[in-house]
Amino acid sequence: METDEAMEKIGRLVQRVKESETPGRHGAAYCYSRVVYAAFREIAALRDERFSLAAICRVMESDGLLPERACPHSFRRAFRRELDRRSKATMKQRGDNPGSGPSKKESVALPRESTAEGRGKSPIDKESGRFKQSAGNDPTSGGGIKKLLDGSFEY
C-alpha cells in the first residue's frame, strides 16, 4: 500500500467516524441527555398526550436532533434520569427531603402481641413503665424459666 493511498483511507475513516459517532467522553449517551434536558417540557407535554418515547425518539432522529439509528431505550433512560433529577430538585426546593425523616435508630420497636394483649390487657405496667412479667412459662423446661413479654427469659 502506498502512502497516498493509505492517507486517503485514513481520511475516509476519520470522516466516517465524525459522521457516525458523537465526540466526547460519554459519546451518544451524552447526546441523549443533552437533547432531553433541552426539550424536557415539550417531551413531557407529548407524554401527557399519550405519545410513546419510542415515537418521540424516531421523530427527533429524523429531524437530526439525535444521531442516526438512535436507540429508543437510551432515549427512554435519559428521559427517566432527567425526570428523577427534576423531581428531586423540586422536592428539595419545597423542603420535602426524603432522607430527613426519622432514622432507623430512632424508631422504637413495639412488643409482640400476646394472647393477654388480644383480650385487652396491656403488657406494660402503667405505674413503672416496664413490661409485666407474666408472659408464661416455657413448657419444655418444666417451669424453671419464665419467658418475659419483651422476648427475654428469667431463670
Span 97-121, pLDDT tens digits? 655 555 545 555 555 555 544 555 6
Calculate mean pLDDT across residues 22-40. 75
pLDDT for position 27? 57
Calculate mean pLDDT across residues 41-55. 93
Element at 34 (helix H, strand E): helix 28-38
Of 101 and 90, the structure prediction assigns the larger pLDDT to: 90
Locate 41 and state its grid cell: 417540557
Query: What b/e readout covers 78-104, taking b as 16+ CB neighbours within 10 angstroms?
Result: bbeebeeeeeeeeeeeeeeeeeeeeee
Cα-flanking dihedrals φ and ψ of residue 154, to 5°?
-120, 130
> Whole-model pTM?
0.46
Contacting residues for 92 by C-beta, under 8 A, at least 6 apart = none
Name the one residue in this structure whose C-alpha cell is 437530526.
64
**Ranges 5-19, 51-65, 120-134: which has the least confidence:** 120-134
Calculate mean pLDDT across residues 39-59. 93
Distance CA 121, CA 124 (A): 9
Distance CA 26, CA 36 (A): 15
Query: What DSSP state is assigned to residue 110?
Result: P
Whether 42 has a pLDDT exceeding 90, the answer reads yes
Element at 146 (helix H, strand E): strand 146-147
Q: What percent of the chain has pLDDT over 90?
A: 28
pLDDT for position 124? 65
3-state secondary structure of 48: helix
Whether 2 has a pLDDT exceeding 60, the answer reads yes
